[in-house]
Amino acid sequence: MDFSHNKLSGPITPDISQCKLLTFVDLSRNQLSGEIPNEITTIRILNYLNVSRNNLIGSIPPPIPTMQSLTSVDFSYNNLSGLVPGTG
């Protein structure tokens, strides 16, 4: 699912987790705000997640490092705080 560069705004809905067959999610370069929903970590076969260059706040969901299929993530250029989960 590639919705990059679409001027999307508002929060990432927790309902994204209902899309259990997603393997690729690119929401980069939009105007998304709010926190990254923890529910996104329940998409078991997700292997690519890019939410860079938005206005996201809060922390990276703690279960991110336990997502076995996830091989590429990009959270850069947001207003996230705290440590990257699993790094100490």
Transcribe 75-86 into DSSP letters.
--SSEE-SPPTT
Per-residue pLDDT for the chain (88 aa), expressed as one digit of tens each?
Answer: 999 999 999 999 999 999 999 999 999 999 999 999 999 999 999 999 999 999 999 999 999 999 999 999 999 999 999 887 876 5
CA angle 2, 15, 37 (to 5 degrees): 85
All structural domains of the chain with their residue ranges: 9-78
pLDDT of residue 13: 97
Question: What confidence score (pLDDT) does residue 85 get?
Answer: 80
* Residues in the chain, total: 88
| pLDDT, position 77 | 98
* pLDDT for 86: 74
- CA nearest 9: which of 25, 29, 24? 29
Pick the CATH number of 9-78 from 3.40.640.10, 3.80.10.10, 3.40.190.10, 3.40.50.720: 3.80.10.10
